[in-house]
Chains A and B, each alone.
Chain A
Amino acid sequence: MEVVRSVIVGASAGLGRALAENLAAAGHDLFLIASDERDLAALRADLHIRHAGKVAILAMDLVAPEVPRLRAEVLAELGGIDNLFYVAGTSRMDAGALPDDVLAELIAVNFTSALRIINALLDDLAKNRGANIVGMSSVAAARGRRINSVYGAAKRGFEGYFEALRHRLADLPCRVQFYRLGYLRTRMTFGQKLLFPPLDPAEAARVIVGNLGRDIGLVYLPWWWRPIIAIIIRLPWPIYKRLNI
């Protein structure tokens, strides 16, 4: 049986790390990308020692990724690519105006860098039978909110790209999957008072890996966010504008 080759962008912590652990246990060869080599090296060591598959890493600034280098290293290390997971994300509450560099980082990591990396690997994935392109958005993108407008807008743009990508690849064997994630028990939600219980990243990873190969489009994770978001996006403006969410 051929080894499945998976690339995870944003692999050092949270959901990205949980996906890496799940895929390594399933026997995938991995190429892990994140901004800090220390975290990647520790994760590579752990996965390599506990599982049989190959684990390669690349530390890269996801605000300004060197996309040609990234593709070249992926192909050199794995010899091809079957799954691409774009998990990287950064969030910042922005009730007021943000410093320009922070705003640029939010847009880059959550939107433009994602598009650039997917675009660079798209031809390697598109005609590959059994390939998957998997992106992570957030329930925060469902309707604009006053407290994280830039993050929400960037993720909404990312969703729009995935919708178009799914349409473009509809007649090809590569699947395009997109998740609107609710609260996850990660650094992003640490210390926050949340309206609903957070999902453990390991459980989220189990669901995402279980869905590989399926033509599912947009999926809420956990599923019960779908009816909640359905209500939120239908709230009349006079009511919505009064909500402190």
Chain B
Amino acid sequence: MKQRFVSLDRHSVCVGEYDEPDRYREIVAVRADTPLIARGAGLSYVAASFGEGVRSIGLRRFDRILAFDAAERWIEVEAGVSLGKLYNFCLQHGLGLPVQPGHPQITVGGCIAGNVHGKNQFREGLFGDHVLSLRLFHPRHGIFDLSRQRESSLFELTVGGLGLTGLIVSARLALAPLSSDIVEVEHIATDSIDETFARVATLRTARDLVYGWIDLAQRDGRCRGYVVVASTLPPRAGAGSRTRVVRPLDPGRQRFRPPLFNARTMPLVNRLYRSAGVHRSTRRSVPLFDVLFPAVGKEFYFDWFGAGGFVEMQVLVPEKDSTGYVQEVIKLIRRHEQPIVLTTVKAFAGAARLLHYTGSGFSFSLDVPNTPGSLALLADLDDLNCANGVKSAVLKDSRLPAAAIRRQYADYEEFRDRIRSFDPARSFQSSLSRRLDL
């Protein structure tokens, strides 16, 4: 059927075909007579699961647990299983996924295709690091059982392959022990960007979660902020997770979205937000669910950019150049006079490979309203990034041009060539893959 698809940032909109099989015979009957792409929860910031003239194959009905070994700490699941369902199940066994993005609706298939990161990439690595094996279906090639030992090249291409190698049907994932479902959270006030980066660098090895929030909306140039750190607590009598009602996140739903995040409001909004954060600076116990899935209960954030939505630029800055780079970013922001709604910093580690968003340094994110002025700022930031060896996250930035990715990712051509070599007909495509000329 025809469906209107909208990316989470609401920057990308298009009408495409949608099918949602619920039996295995329907999956293996999928034909590649039109371009295809898998779709899970549909919560990617960018148009990764849809495209003009593309048939999206929804896999939400494939959400079963296929095998589980508590002693060996692994679980095998269908690709449409949500992180929320997995969280609830694994918690009963004192286990959890080591890497989880911020909303419980997100599916395992999407996490693998995007090779996403979680709350402390520096310590945990990427989602793909914890995928032991997976099953892939391609209408022209059939079913593959892949792992680091079996068809390792296709396994590597599929993990973080943006869904371009086929439909991920199921996967076996490594689990990590979880001592409790209560987390101790602390907010540490910072007075400058340099201090925020330094605090994140100091705390990244010691805590389960570390990220910095920076206020770039003030005109005084102080760029104050805070760093949030959290660690799982040992089990306590009487302690338990608060049950949370998860309101479905649906960027395609038609409703009034007030443009409350703008140049006039952001200085006040950020002052209040920082005050609230710093006010909670004493250590407090919080349900793990709230820390793992911070977007739950804050769905309004995505709406308050207004009808046009927003764009997130997330970049990986080499550690040694981070201070100078950020000063250049601030200069550009001042020159363009655009509102910066959210700025966060996380510590990263790892070797760069293909189009994976990984490497050593700091991940630096900016959320801006989707306006011509903001887009002009981001275009200038693209140039700055390319000149400074800074690379952008392809799964976060809806307007990122192929030219920038070509310059930023050393393995761009290798990824493109290997996808085309595996599937010369290019059976799997999306708006994202077309924009990046993959």
Contacts and interface: CB of A to CB of B under 8 A. Distances in A.
Interface string A28-71: 00000000101100110110011000000000000000000000
B335 interface: no
Given A42-B78, A45-B65, A50 B89 contact: yes
A135 interface: no
B25 interface: yes
Given A12-B23, A36-B25, A39-B23, A190 B1 contact: yes
A42 B25 contact: no
Nearest to B68: A49
A152 interface: no
Contacts of B1: 190-191
Chain B interface: which size bin? 10 to 19
Given A42-B64, A186-B22, 13 more contacts: A13-B22, A38-B23, A39-B23, A39-B24, A42-B24, A42-B62, A45-B64, A45-B66, A45-B67, A49-B68, A190-B1, A190-B19, A190-B20
Nearest to B18: A191
Contact of A46 (B18, B21, B25, B64): B64
Contacts of B22: 13-14, 186-187
Given A13-B61, A191-B1, A46 B23 contact: no
Interface in B69-117: 78, 89
Contact of B67 (A49, A50, A187, A191): A49
Majority SS of interface residues in chain B? mixed
Contacts of B19: 190-191
Interface string B218-249: 00000000000000000000000000000000
A36 B89 contact: no
A15 to B, nearest CB: 11
Contacts of A45: 64-67
Given A190-B20, A191-B1, A49 B25 contact: no
Interface of B: 1, 18-26, 61-62, 64-68, 78, 89
A178 B314 CA distance: 56
A191 B1 CA distance: 5
A198 to B, nearest CB: 13
Q: What are the nearest 3 A-B pairs in CB distance?
A: A191-B1, A46-B64, A38-B24
Interface residues of A, number: 16
A33 B428 CA distance: 35
Majority SS of interface residues in chain A? helix
Contacts of B21: 187
Contacts of A12: 23
B65 A46 contact: yes
A156 to B, nearest CB: 27
Nearest to A186: B22
Most buried by A among B19, B65, B89: B65
A234 B10 CA distance: 48
Nearest to B170: A42
A108 to B, nearest CB: 18
Interface string A8-21: 00001110000000
A43 B67 CA distance: 11
Interface in A163-193: 186-187, 190-191
Contacts of A186: 22
A14 B20 CA distance: 12
Interface string A187-207: 100110000000000000000
Nearest to B78: A42
A186 to B, nearest CB: 7
A168 to B, nearest CB: 35
Nearest to A41: B66
Nearest to B67: A45
A174 B26 CA distance: 37
A186 B22 CA distance: 9
B23 A49 contact: no
Contacts of B65: 45-46, 49-50
Contacts of B89: 49-50
Contacts of B26: 187
A190 B23 CA distance: 13
Contacts of B25: 36, 38
A42 B66 contact: yes
Interface string A104-132: 00000000000000000000000000000
5 contacts: A13-B22, A42-B64, A190-B1, A190-B19, A190-B20
Contacts of B67: 45, 49
Nearest to A43: B64
A164 B122 CA distance: 68
A42 B62 CA distance: 9
Contacts of A46: 64-66
